[in-house]
Structure 1
């Protein structure tokens, strides 16, 4: 999904002010390899594993997303999620 969004939106509309956020180093490393901006906000040891809706792992992943969004909004950034 990230690569598709990057190609069909970021590149297509020549957007230069963007940053992808990840919860594991492996995801950012894949983006860095393609010269795409990425930042690891918080490392989650289950980030690269499939999680089932409602499970503890799923809820933890959603909390990381919520924390990041709140932090970014407090700092005055605009979020596209």
Structure 2
């Protein structure tokens, strides 16, 4: 069980390293965002209006359907990448 988990973590880290090499700027942005959220910035006065706008956009059916399509596309690609 521990060996399987170790291999899974190793695969995740290798995949992450590959993505950083292929597309460094989006991965840098993701790191900055993760640090911002982890540092408590998600609940700041600056972020609150942006979060409200994002949630409001999710209420619009066209945006919601587009996000579902993107999520379905990403879900369809994930098993192919693991094979």
On whether the aligned pair clears a TM of 0.5, the verdict is: no
Question: For this structure pair, what is the TM-score category when the shorter chain's length is used for normalisation?
Answer: 0.3 to 0.5
Query: Which structure has the greater CA radius of gyration?
Result: 2
Q: TM-score, normalised by structure 2?
A: 0.37
